[in-house]
Amino acid sequence: MPTVTLPHSGLAVPTPYPCVTDLRTLDLSCGQAFTAAVWFDGQEIGWLENTGSGRATTFEPCEPDAVARRARMEQFAALCSHPLLRLDRSLVYDLLVQEHDMAELVHTAVAAEGTVARFLVDGAPIGLFADVAAAPTRWADLAGDLDQLRALEPGEDIVGHWQAWDGAAWRDLPSVPEAVEAESSGLILTAV
């Protein structure tokens, strides 16, 4: 079965795969609750739901054919993979929502002629994102933004690194000295 890797979450999914739309979130004292519509083959088949209380994200199918729609989502989730994460259904559902959320964030930033940076720990985004004012054309263009991004990092006890969306993929951001060295060696980013 052919698969494709989703660019923002790293989730490898069989094709065709469901599309998440209409994400609605609610910040609670115990976390963030959300619902999101799920579409498969041009039909809304249900919604993903998380109560924000630490419980698993669930899929709730629409009628008619609720049993068949639930089985299709469970089969889909079982066929997904990720290079860094051990997946279960709930995590697959969370990653589909994350993919949608990041795509919206990137789309908004690119429409404003900017881009987005994200912070990763052990290769996985931890939910720390920042707008970068202008889409860089060279790594050295990010030198000023790197200092601002480092001020947002969660602390010295959490080791990670930043990536920026270059219009087609996430690219690791170098430290400021590395950015200057890369510029002098001619490393150029793809313009957004």
Q: What is the pLDDT of residues 78-112, one digit of tens each?
A: 999 998 889 999 999 999 999 999 899 888 888 87
**DSSP state at residue 139:** G
For 114-130, the pLDDT digits (tens) are 778 888 877 777 666 66
Question: Which residue's entry shows tokens 């609720």?
Answer: 66
Q: Tell me the range of 71-80, 125-134, 164-173 where mean pLDDT is highest.
A: 71-80
Measure Cα distances from 78 to 14, 29, 46, 105, 191 in Å: 10, 32, 18, 28, 37
Residue 132 binned pLDDT confidence (cut-offs 50, 70, 90): low
**Is residue 116 within 8 Å of residue 130, measured between CB atoms?**
yes
Q: Answer yes or no: pTM beyond 0.75.
A: yes
- Please report, for the chain, the start and end positions of each structural domain, with discontinuous segments joined by +: 3-102, 112-185
CA distance 105 to 102: 5
- What is the distance of C-alpha 9 from the center of its chain? 4
Specify the pLDDT at position 165: 83
Residue 144 binned pLDDT confidence (cut-offs 50, 70, 90): low
CA distance 94 to 56: 9
Residue 137 binned pLDDT confidence (cut-offs 50, 70, 90): low
